[in-house]
Structure 1
């Protein structure tokens, strides 16, 4: 069994992954939270799973490189500098970065990319997401993942076509825009819907997370998949061979 080390072990996802490992008989190498010794954890692990914070990412990547082991990054709220650090680390070790470890969301993104590649640019794309009241970033990492899938299907750059936080007299919707709306409340684990609105018809693709276990299940599967891979940057679509 693979020895999986959890960074951010006291967070919601960290605890869910630890429980999943125990239920399935996998080997938990250990866990660290804020201020913990990540390098020591990496030395005793076959793969690291990081659900901590963007501010800790660089040290976590250094730990994976130092131990020569893969790392799965599920931390959301990453900025361009973080992605550059991931690209650099991926030259030395296998790195899988994703905004969502759900296998269902991974397939949803694939279907969305296929849909936007085939439907014309006159079909408007709106992404609506809802999460629990404690979530600190918006749009969610999953919403951005879906936005990137829609943009790739159209052959455009998401940052140049994204519309967020509409309020007041905004004017008409920009042609080709990809819109985002974020809702927060209660204990919602995660709900995402992509509305493709054309002339006289709408196509809605949705995913509803009923329990955090599904994300833990996907993270464990992806972490095991990473072991033995050559250095490089991977995504959940590689795990499903999409």
Structure 2
């Protein structure tokens, strides 16, 4: 039986990609789409439920998995609406602050919720193998990270960059918030041994580039992931939706749970 999905922000860059891939996937049924109030016109060609009010849409799409790549405040509100109707949620939104993450975790206690800052298989494989690289290189290698995204991206550093940098810190046994350096300016002195710099670049239509640097004595190692298309993230999110449809509430799921 096909997994029913509801795509939020169906006219946006990621939303439109999700809609197209869902319609082409025989294992999925596009049950509904939702847009901001006053922006749902023109979606009737999809031949599914269309609305600009999620609370009104969900009773017409019972059990459908919601896929949300909107904005932090909207995502928190959407998850609460989903909880009232019992629709599982896959979240790809980045930039949620600790308070918002706490609200999502609370909902996940009673509703299947999946959240990942990056849905690509490649990035999530990196998260598994990077700790091995860090430990093998040892403490003499300084670790830095640079990320590049399109000029329209609103949060910085990217959610993926933060996740990767946190992974590096954990592999060293460091608390990320104690060693992170998201900006350098002026006369800052020598680089501390226990520090991870994360630098942000924005411009053009770059989908997403992340490079981790390991600076050692007499050599440098670079590990780069480049997303060529939003299809990478959308495919991962739809894969997560299929998986989440059969899961029970009680924890906030992530890509590691699928793998």
TM-score tier, shorter chain, comes to: over 0.9
User: Counterpart of 2:55?
Assistant: 39
Q: Which stretches in structure 2 are left out of the alignment for 5+ residues?
A: 38-51
Match runs of 1:1-242 below 5 Å: 1-25=2-26, 26-35=28-37, 36-43=52-59, 44=61, 45-231=63-249, 232-240=251-259
| Distance apart, 1:187 and its partner CA | 1.3
SS at match of 2:164: helix
Q: Deviations over 1:178-237 (max 9, x none)?
A: 111111112111111111122222222111111111111111001111112121111112
Distance in 2 separating the partners of 1:188 and 1:215: 14
Distance in 2 separating the partners of 1:83 and 1:118: 33
Distance in 2 separating the partners of 1:217 and 1:167: 39
Scaled by the length of structure 1, what TM-score is found?
Answer: 0.93
| Distance apart, 1:123 and its partner CA | 1.9
SS at match of 1:66: helix
Distance in 2 separating the partners of 1:18 and 1:4: 9
SS at match of 2:238: helix
Deviant stretches of 4+, over 6 Å: none
SS at match of 2:215: strand
| Distance apart, 1:125 and its partner CA | 1.3
Distance change in 2, residues 1:230/1:169 (3 Å): same
Distance in 2 separating the partners of 1:156 and 1:95: 28
Bigger CA radius of gyration? 2
Name the Cα RMSD after superposition.
1.5
Greater Cα offset, 195-204 or 117-126: 117-126
Scaled by the length of structure 2, what TM-score is found?
Answer: 0.87
Q: How many residues align?
A: 240
Distance in 2 separating the partners of 1:235 and 1:174: 33
Is the Cα contact below 8 Å between 1:47 and 1:223 reproduced in 2? Answer: yes
| Distance apart, 1:176 and its partner CA | 1.8
Is the Cα contact below 8 Å between 1:115 and 1:153 reproduced in 2? Answer: no
Distance in 1 separating the partners of 2:166 and 2:196: 10
